[in-house]
Amino acid sequence: MARYLVTYHGSEMSHEPEAMAQARNAFMAWAQKVGPALVETGAPVVAVRTISGSSASARPAEGPVQGWSVVEAESQEAAAELLADHPFLNRGGTLQINEPAPI
């Protein structure tokens, strides 16, 4: 089984307590359905610093990552099937499946 880093992009999440609770509950229901294939639940993230080869700044990189998870699946296609009904997609977000690059 391979592990895939799933990055979350582009959803505007309300900071209202009720909306946050609904989003958390939807994620937990999805996580329970996926079961042990969700290796790391991950967490939302906020960009605090961007580092490049020539500089560092307090602004986000292009296309900021808004969260992450790690799933385990037989293939990219199987990982995509696990993510097909992820609640983040219902909020207008996009999920990117990333795999380790060959060294």
Position 28 pLDDT exceeds 70: yes
Position 63 pLDDT exceeds 70: no
3-state secondary structure of 87: helix
pLDDT (average), residues 49-58: 63
Domain hosting residue 85, numbered range: 2-47+59-98
Domain CATH code at residue 79 = 3.30.70.1060
Position 64 pLDDT exceeds 60: yes
Residue 103 lies in a domain: no
pLDDT at 74: 95
Residue 54 lies in a domain: no
Domain count across the chain? 1
The model's pTM is 0.78
Residue 10 lies in a domain: yes
Residue 74 lies in a domain: yes
pLDDT at 62: 62
Residue 52 lies in a domain: no
Specify which residues 6 forms β-bridges with: 69, 97
Residue 35 lies in a domain: yes
How far apart CA 24 and CA 27 sit, in angstroms, is 5
CB count in 10 Å sphere of residue 66 = 20
